Amino acid sequence: MATMAQPTRDDFAALLEESLGGASTGGFEGRVVKGTVTAIENDKAVIDVGLKSEGRVPLREFAAPGQPAALKVGDEVEVYVDRVENADGEAMLSRDRARREAAWDKLESEFGEGKRVEGVIFGRVKGGFTVDLDGAVAFLPGSQVDIRPVRDVTPLMDMPQPFQILKMDRRRGNIVVSRRAVLEETRAEQRSGLIQNLAEGQIIDGVVKNITDYGAFVDLGGIDGLLHVTDMSYKRVNHPSEVINIGDTVRVQIVRINHETQRISLGMKQLESDPWDGVAAKYPVGAKLRGTVTNITEYGAFVELEPGIEGLVHVSEMSWTKKNVHPGKIVSTSQEVDVIVLEVDAEKRRISLGLKQAQQNPWESFAEKHPVGAVVEGEVKNATEFGLFIGLDGDVDGMVHMSDIAWGISGEDALALHRKGEHVKAVVLDVDVEKERISLGMKQLEKGAPTAATATGGALRRGEVVTVTVLEVRDGGLEVQAGEDGATGFIKRSDLGRDRDEQRPDRFQVGQKIDALVTGFDRSKKPNFSIKARQLAEEKEAVEQYGSSDSGASLGDILGEALKSRS
């Protein structure tokens, strides 16, 4: 039996295991140890870590992604012992695992302190990329590569650069990093420094980087400012591309700086003279001007009077005759029109214009051409429950009230005689220019219609008592006719008698003859009659002829005497 003076190979192994802390699996396996490169064979390095046998590690594990391994015999390296001995009797070593374990320790410390870490993008995976963080593999989501979407990531691969750790779980071996967070932080730092050198009101040159529907982003030398479309020019700009293009160098003024959000608002029109200065004197109320329609909305149309000066023609001021129609049916974009200045508010930069005021009022024109009494002809545009609307010259309408359609019949029956689209003749009874109303009469053209002579000294005179024939009994009174072929008129219910019980139309019959007083004539020269006025006139005459009531005689006695004398 061998003694310690002459130790065997097994004795040496036992002593080694004892010095390493017992069993080989408990002392070496799962640990990072230092070893020495004893040889380099093909693409592997032979490493002695003090075990029974040496281990072999691929050279690629000693190289950075995309770089050759700078390793030579005699170099001391750290490796991870996966197994002390495999089936071939060799130690199972891993440089990657050693680096990963060391990297995790370092990354956990840096993650806790919020520090940036350096890594290399070396591969593509679904949804993003893989990053080598000095041995630990992290996931870089595609959305975290850059501030703006990047189509080609190739130039960024295999190049050391900083990353920010967003999340890490050592138990699961998950690390998520962001390159975008680093860029945003760096840009914010740069913006803060650049903003300190800028001031509101400062004039500076910049390069147009991007154009949107609402404006353009201008690079001011490392920091972007927004040039809004409304600040490009005093004149109307429908789209920024009408004024500038990407890549143009433009001179702008810093309108506003928000130090909290680090946003900069720019303006170009601020470098031009303001066309609104002295606008009230330039465009006095009532002035007739010529302009170009630039924009049409539901509520009106904008007319450019000069570059930078626009006025609004409200829909109510667009046409004398076309009501409740869309402005686009009256004017079109780019059309030149004549307008009248209605109101100027220089403070609010508003000018109210009138389109219809620049044209002759069609009701004034009609009144000049067709005075009261003139005969006109037109088409029945519409029939309502109270009359007919007739289309006349100048695109205006006149109305024939139902009572002025025909003699001897009710208004309802007269309305039934005419239809929409029919051509008729009528007499102009009245023109109210202010209210835009034209009153017409059709029955005044019929035989027996009252004339001006009738009212001023013809067959009928105001205050005259005549015998009339009842033509129609209505709730509101009686339609009557004077004489055989005389003018027709009306006796209102309140004029049928002095007493209330006499003011009942149903006590009269068609064809009945009654005496009535002519009280006046309406605008169509139609006479108005009154039984009540006749009674009061007779009473007054009797009192004057037979004495006043102071004589002691009653009013009945006086009227009785008057009746006896007449009989």
* Range 203-232 average pLDDT: 89
Distance (Å, whole) CA 93 – CA 56:
7
Out of 342, 358, 374, a domain closes at 358
With 50 as the cut, is the pLDDT of residue 133 above it?
yes
Asked if 226 and 254 sit in the same domain, the reply is: yes
Distance, C-alpha 36 to centroid of its chain: 76
Q: Residue 547: its pLDDT value, please?
A: 57
**Model confidence at 292, in pLDDT bands (50, 70, 90)?**
very high
**Residue 107 resides in a domain:** no
Distance (Å, whole) CA 27 – CA 218:
65
* Averaged pLDDT score across all residues of the chain: 81
Out of 99, 128, 162, a domain closes at 99
Cα separation of the two ends of the chain = 185
Distance (Å, whole) CA 465 – CA 487:
14
* Range 196-206 average pLDDT: 86
Asked if 38 and 87 sit in the same domain, the reply is: yes
Asked if 245 and 284 sit in the same domain, the reply is: no
**Model confidence at 553, in pLDDT bands (50, 70, 90)?**
low
Asked if 142 and 166 sit in the same domain, the reply is: yes
**Would you call 412 helix, strand, or coil by DSSP?**
helix
Domain harbouring 259, CATH code: 2.40.50.140
Residue 117, amino acid:
V
With 60 as the cut, is the pLDDT of residue 87 above it?
no
Residue labelled with tokens 């205006």: 396
Measured N-to-C along each axis, helices 555-566 and 531-546 cross at an angle, to the nearest 10 degrees, of: 90
Distance, C-alpha 481 to centroid of its chain: 64
Structural tokens at position 173: 């071996």
Asked if 161 and 121 sit in the same domain, the reply is: yes
Asked if 213 and 261 sit in the same domain, the reply is: yes
The answer to whether the CB of 93 falls within 8 A of the CB of 56 is yes
Closest by CA to 448, choosing from 460, 463, 466, is 460
With 70 as the cut, is the pLDDT of residue 533 above it?
yes
Asked if 542 and 461 sit in the same domain, the reply is: yes
Q: Is 313 exposed, middle or buried (0-12, 13-18, 19+ CB in 10 A)?
A: buried
Asked if 218 and 292 sit in the same domain, the reply is: no
The answer to whether the CB of 526 falls within 8 A of the CB of 471 is no
The answer to whether the CB of 311 falls within 8 A of the CB of 291 is yes
Residue labelled with tokens 């040039």: 227
Residue labelled with tokens 């990047």: 150
**Residue 451 resides in a domain:** no
* Range 206-220 average pLDDT: 90
HSE-CB of 70 using CA atoms within 13 angstroms:
4
Neighbours of 427 (CB within 10 A): 22
Contacts of 123 (CB under 8 A, 6+ apart): 129, 130
Q: Residue 454: its pLDDT value, please?
A: 45
Contacts of 111 (CB under 8 A, 6+ apart): 165, 168
Structural tokens at position 470: 């009842």
Model pTM score: 0.44
* Range 270-293 average pLDDT: 88
What separation in angstroms does the CA of 37 have from each of 48, 87, 493? 7, 22, 132
Asked if 462 and 522 sit in the same domain, the reply is: yes
**Residue 143 resides in a domain:** yes
Q: Residue 340: its pLDDT value, please?
A: 92
For the ranges 23-32, 118-127, 311-320, 381-390, the lowest mean pLDDT is seen at 23-32
Out of 243, 271, 299, a domain closes at 271
What separation in angstroms does the CA of 89 have from each of 15, 39, 267, 555? 19, 18, 79, 156
Neighbours of 302 (CB within 10 A): 20
Closest by CA to 301, choosing from 277, 318, 286, is 318
For the ranges 169-173, 282-286, 436-440, 509-513, the lowest mean pLDDT is seen at 169-173
Q: Residue 129: its pLDDT value, please?
A: 93
Asked if 505 and 441 sit in the same domain, the reply is: no
Closest by CA to 159, choosing from 121, 130, 189, 188, is 121
Distance (Å, whole) CA 341 – CA 550:
72
Distance (Å, whole) CA 343 – CA 311:
10
With 50 as the cut, is the pLDDT of residue 25 above it?
no
Q: Residue 7: its pLDDT value, please?
A: 60
Sheet holding 92-94, edge to edge: 55-58, 44-48, 32-41, 76-83, 92-94
Total of domains in the chain:
6
Neighbours of 49 (CB within 10 A): 20
- Parent domain of 211: 198-271
**Residue 343 resides in a domain:** yes
For the stretch 240-264, pLDDT in tens is 998 899 989 999 999 998 877 778 8
**Residue 557 resides in a domain:** no
Distance (Å, whole) CA 446 – CA 404:
11
Structural tokens at position 77: 């390296």
The answer to whether the CB of 203 falls within 8 A of the CB of 252 is yes
**Residue 339 resides in a domain:** yes
Residue 59: phi and psi, rounded to 5, are -65, -30
**Model confidence at 567, in pLDDT bands (50, 70, 90)?**
very low
**Residue 551 resides in a domain:** no
What separation in angstroms does the CA of 47 have from each of 39, 59, 95, 452, 492? 7, 11, 10, 135, 131
**Model confidence at 164, in pLDDT bands (50, 70, 90)?**
very high
Q: Which helix (H) or strand (E) holds 474?
A: strand 465-474
**Residue 214 resides in a domain:** yes
Asked if 173 and 204 sit in the same domain, the reply is: no
Asked if 170 and 246 sit in the same domain, the reply is: no
Structural tokens at position 61: 């594990």
**Model confidence at 462, in pLDDT bands (50, 70, 90)?**
confident
Q: Is the dihedral of CA 93, 95, 97, 101 positive or negative?
A: positive
**Model confidence at 559, in pLDDT bands (50, 70, 90)?**
low
Q: Residue 21: its pLDDT value, please?
A: 43
With 50 as the cut, is the pLDDT of residue 202 above it?
yes
**Model confidence at 452, in pLDDT bands (50, 70, 90)?**
very low
Distance (Å, whole) CA 348 – CA 256:
21
* Range 503-531 average pLDDT: 85
With 50 as the cut, is the pLDDT of residue 136 above it?
yes
Q: Residue 173: its pLDDT value, please?
A: 82
